Structure 1
Amino acid sequence: MTAPRQSVDRLGRLLNLVPYLLARPGILVAEAAADLGVSERQLREDLELLWVCGLPGYGPGDLIDMALDGDRVTISHDAGIDRPLRLTPDEALALVVALRMLAETPGAGNRDAIERALAKIENAAGDLAGAPVAVRLPANAERLDRLRGAVDSGHALHLTYYTATRDETTERVVDPMRMLMVGGKAYLEAWCRRAEATRMFRVDRIDDFTELDEPARPPVEAVRHDVSAGVFTPGAELPLITLRVGRGGRWITEYYPVEEVRRTGDAWVVTMRVTDLGWARRLVLGMGPDVTVLGPPELIDRIRAQATAALDQYATPTG
């Protein structure tokens, strides 16, 4: 049994232990352990933990108190935990809605486990769970369903995809591998035949797609990305840029992965890696006076050239 599973089991046991003991003052520890299906040693460890649990404030009058006299135990102060955990109607309905949404989310883990949990909550909620609450993802719902169907059917796809880093729309054929949610956004992970590599395609940037008759055949080198730290994992091979941002541009340090942030007076010097200097150029130009580029020189030159070209548009002679 894994540690997280043990923690969950123990929490449930502790929540029910106090009302169980309240109903049986002076019960033998061995008898209580047998009823609860644990060893006597485990029950004593649970009782020791309960001794330091209670309501916020955690003064003597807030903690659970008990008398452990030899082989018998009596709860003398329950700190409000006087009944087994039960869901209120509102709590049960909230769980039903959340689980229904999770079931509609692509790549949200083991759907069978989600559906089993949903069935148990709906059964416990009774008639309340039958309320006409339809849960659908608010954006791209139809596209998500179609993409999920294509992945499940095992067919290759022809995509029309907008690449934000290069500000261009491309056509490509991909072999779908899976769909997943990362950072609240849906992605299609697939082998891209054009790039000859595994790629992550954001669903909201797929302008159009066609399911092909041919089956999807990702090659053996098509390895799934590790997205535990997010979709974008900056590496040493990517361009390094340095920006000085004012208070209005500080948001980029929370929105994008950065390597270093230093406070200098009323500004911050931010160092970050980017996938493409063209993307960095568009980012900086969009931030306006809130940012100054300190490096690399190539990025400074690109921004100066585009800014000069934009100013030249205002110098057109009149008449």
Structure 2
Amino acid sequence: MSARTPSADRLGRLLNLVPYLLARPGILISEAAADLDVTDKQLREDLELLWVCGLPGYGPGDLIDMAIDGDHVTISHDAGMDKPLRLNPDEALALVVALRMLAETPGIGTRDAIERALAKIENAAGDLADAPVAVKLPANQERLAKVRAAVASGNALRLTYYTPSRDETTDRVVDPMRMLMVGGFNYLEAWCRRAEATRLFRIDRIDAFSELDEPSAPPVGAVPHDVTGGVFHPGPELPLVTLRVGRGGRWITEYYPVEQVVREGPEWLVTMRVTDLGWAQRFLAGQGRDVTVVGPPELLERIRAQAATALGQYAAPHGLAADRPAAG
């Protein structure tokens, strides 16, 4: 068994430190250090690090706050870290299942690290890890293997492909160029004869495909994508969307590429490029009160029309019973 590193020990201590201090307001630093088996100096360094820890936003009300009065310390704002670092049975099982699924995902390059983490969690979970839960991804593996074999054959392919940004399924003929993995997803890069451009097709969005009796022949202008920064590279030709987001919607700035974030008190004004306004409409319609669309006007009008249609459905009579005369 490998020895724990000082950084790992410190991380575990920091995750437990806030709930420990919350339960002991005004505790002596020397007493807390003795309980945690560290020196007073180390504990004070841990407290200084906690000053700059907290939730995304990292402004007032987001960071952990505390009061140090001489040799006494009290947590005044916990930033949500109010529970000890312990997994309940449901959380432990969910983590085991997630790691097993990740280990079964084709093309993952960090399988050794995943298996080591899974072994540790299963050891800590005890009998719970023996629950009758098996995770297999045979469909993904089979599809990936078949696409790879088709690409290796050197022939052109006919694809039935789903495009979520437009919520449509299309048939197209492509000339395969290579297989690659980006951001945990497997892609087929090919020259699309319909679009007359190089395209990336996510394997799990290929509904069906067949080999053609003609060789794959990408034209000279079929240049591979630069995927070092990810698949999506927003450019000025794409629609620009402006959103006003509250705390519950700030995750958007971490999950999607954004061009600008302007903080206006508790709300942020966010601008981002999208591939298609139809995708933006479907995405934003389900975000709730934490996200408000500011522009462009076309997107606002789309969402207003969608909302009006939905309200109209609620107002309309349902079923034949509404048309029947009342019994007299």
**TM-score, normalised with respect to structure 1:** 0.57
> Residue 243 of structure 1 aligns to a residue in which SS?
strand
Contact 2:106 2:141 in 1 (8 A): no
Matching residue of 2:264 = 264
> Residue 148 of structure 2 aligns to a residue in which SS?
helix
Matching residue of 2:273 = 273
Contact 2:159 2:209 in 1 (8 A): yes
Show CA shifts across 1:10-65 (max 9, x none).
Answer: xxxxxxxxxxxxxxxxxxxxxxxxxxxxxxxxxxxxxxxxxxxxxxx9xxxxxxxx
How big is the shift at 1:139? 6.2
**CA–CA distance in structure 2, aligned partners of residues 220 and 148 of structure 1:** 23
> Residue 314 of structure 1 aligns to a residue in which SS?
helix
Change (3 A) 1:237 1:257: same
Matching residue of 1:290 = 290
Change (3 A) 1:293 1:192: same
**CA–CA distance in structure 2, aligned partners of residues 158 and 247 of structure 1:** 45
**Runs ≥4 in structure 1, deviation > 3 angstroms?**
101-104, 136-139
Matching residue of 1:105 = 107
Show CA shifts across 1:170-223 (max 9, x none).
Answer: 111111111100011111111111111111111111111112222111111111
RMSD across aligned C-alpha pairs, in angstroms?
2.4
Matching residue of 1:254 = 254
Structure 2 unmatched ranges of 5 or more: 1-41, 43-102, 110-135, 324-328
Identity, % of aligned pairs?
71
**CA–CA distance in structure 1, aligned partners of residues 237 and 231 of structure 2:** 17
Matching residue of 1:301 = 301
Contact 2:240 2:271 in 1 (8 A): yes
**CA–CA distance in structure 2, aligned partners of residues 183 and 298 of structure 1:** 32
How big is the shift at 1:151? 1.2
Say yes or no: does 1:207 pair with 2:207: yes
**CA–CA distance in structure 2, aligned partners of residues 138 and 285 of structure 1:** 34
Count of residues paired in the alignment: 193
**CA–CA distance in structure 2, aligned partners of residues 310 and 227 of structure 1:** 40
Kindly provide the amino acid, as one letter, of the partner of residue 151 in structure 2.
V
**CA–CA distance in structure 2, aligned partners of residues 141 and 257 of structure 1:** 30
Change (3 A) 1:213 1:228: same
> Residue 285 of structure 2 aligns to a residue in which SS?
helix
**CA–CA distance in structure 1, aligned partners of residues 178 and 261 of structure 2:** 36
After TM superposition, list the pairs within 5 Å mapping 1:141-290 onto structure 2. Answer: 141-290=141-290
Contact 1:243 1:294 in 2 (8 A): yes
Change (3 A) 1:104 1:205: closer
Change (3 A) 1:195 1:160: same
Larger radius of gyration: 1
Kindly provide the amino acid, as one letter, of the partner of residue 201 in structure 1.
F
> Residue 169 of structure 1 aligns to a residue in which SS?
strand
